[in-house]
Each structure stands twice: as structure tokens, then as C-alpha cells.
């Protein structure tokens, strides 16, 4: 199993999650972060850190978010590692909780 970053991270990207990961398995794209499922050790530390509640265990993904398991696996191989907190996206607070953000994902 692994933990998975889901849709509500898109256009928020608060990055609080990367600070607590003991194995540095977060990877960063233009407006989204992902977890490398081959590196994640299921420590659970990142889940409560996300202000957007975007991180879930793979076997507890909310309905409609299942595709993000594949997206995390795919994009983590392509995007660079991120280990330090950065500024959130502009207007992150406004985007937090908006629906339909999957179509805004920049790869």
C-alpha cells in the first residue's frame, strides 16, 4: 500500500506534507504534488499535515479519487523530488475545496 495525494491538492500545493516525510517520497509538478508509491512506507505522518485534506491511504481513497493512485505512481517517476516547504500556489485558499480540479492538473 501507499499514501496518495488526491484532487484537492491541485492549485493549492501547500507543501506542508513534504516536511514530515521520513523517506522524502514527494515529487512536485507545476500545480500538484504526488507520492512515489514505491518509496512510501505508510508512516501516516503526512496525512494530518495537509491543510487541504488531500492525502489518503490507497485503500481509503474517497469515491471518485481512485484514479489518483495511478497518477501518483505515474507522475512520481517523471517529476523531481521535493523535500522542503515552498510557498503555496497563488489563491490556494480560494481553490481549497473547489470541485472539478482534475481537469486543471498540469503535467
User: In angstroms, what is the minimal distance from the CB of 3 to ligand SF4?
Assistant: 4
8-47: which residues touch ligand F3S (CB under 6 A)?
9, 12-17, 33
Binding piece for ligand F3S, criterion CB under 6 A, among 6-14, 60-68, 70-78, 99-107:
6-14
- Out of ligand SF4, ligand F3S, none, which partner does residue 89 contact, by CB within 5 to 8 A per kind? none
Q: Give the nearer residue to ligand F3S in terms of CB position, either 59 or 84.
A: 84
In this structure, which long-range contacts are made by residues 53-59, counting pairs with CB atoms below 8 Å and at least 24 apart in sequence? 53/8, 54/5, 54/6, 54/7, 54/8, 54/9, 54/12, 55/3, 55/4, 55/5, 55/6, 55/9, 55/17, 56/3, 56/4, 56/6, 57/1, 57/3, 57/4, 58/1, 58/2, 58/3, 58/4, 59/1
The residue ranges that bind ligand SF4 (CB under 6 A) are 3, 20-21, 23, 25, 35, 40-46
Amino acid at each position: 500500500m501507499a499514501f496518495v495525494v488526491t484532487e484537492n491538492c491541485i492549485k493549492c500545493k501547500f507543501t506542508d506534507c513534504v516536511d514530515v516525510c521520513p523517506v522524502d517520497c514527494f515529487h512536485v509538478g507545476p500545480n500538484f504534488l504526488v507520492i512515489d508509491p514505491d518509496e512510501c512506507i505508510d508512516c501516516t505522518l503526512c496525512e494530518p499535515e495537509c491543510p487541504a485534506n488531500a492525502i489518503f491511504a490507497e485503500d481509503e481513497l474517497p469515491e471518485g479519487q481512485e484514479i489518483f493512485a495511478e497518477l501518483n505512481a505515474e507522475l512520481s517517476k517523471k517529476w523531481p523530488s521535493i523535500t522542503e516547504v515552498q510557498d503555496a500556489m497563488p489563491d490556494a485558499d480560494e481553490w481549497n475545496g473547489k470541485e472539478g480540479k482534475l481537469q486543471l492538473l498540469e503535467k
